[in-house]
Amino acid sequence: MASRKTKEIENHLQVEHAVHIGKIQSLLSTVLPQVDKKSPGRNPKRYKALLTCVICTGDAHGYNFDAISCESCKAFFRRNALQPAEKFKCRGTGSCDVTFNARKRCKRCRLEKCLASGMRKEWILSDKE
């Protein structure tokens, strides 16, 4: 009789444990980014850090020219940083809002924000390099 009662208690504890584990897993799945389990050769335990572009506050992909930036701001800086400053004129008051949705409105303010955020002109490679 005692062994039957012990098994019932063990089964009850296993069910409670499974419920708690399920709750923890559902909480973790909402907090942590999803992992692509289908891609071969990748470590599924590694999570990509969530980065924000220091220029436009969009999703960044890493360090570009010594600043965390998105692909769009990286390409913009590479194309325009070596141009003379007189080429660009501000389309607003001189301190335009450079955000994800408005980053293409004023090239001068965007370039100034790139330089103020720490992007380096000297790190731009030439075609030969």
Is residue 2 situated within a structural domain? yes
Two tokens, residue 68: 């965390």
- The pLDDT assigned to 71 comes to 94
Is residue 21 situated within a structural domain? yes
Q: What residues have CB less than 8 Å from 54, skipping those under 6 apart?
A: 60, 67, 68, 69, 117, 118
Average per-residue pLDDT for the chain: 77
What is the extent of the structural domain holding 90? 62-123
What values do phi and psi take at 82, rounded to 5? -90, 0
4 — pLDDT class (breaks 50, 70, 90): confident
119 contacts 65 by C-beta, under 8 angstroms: yes
Is residue 28 situated within a structural domain? yes
44 contacts 37 by C-beta, under 8 angstroms: yes
Whole-model pTM? 0.60
pLDDT tens digits for range 54-105: 999 999 988 899 899 999 999 999 999 998 878 889 888 888 889 999 888 9
Q: Counting beta carbons within 10 angstroms of the beta carbon of residue 74, is it exposed (0 to 12), middle (13 to 18) or buried (19 or more)?
A: buried
Q: Are residues 26 and 68 in the same domain?
A: no
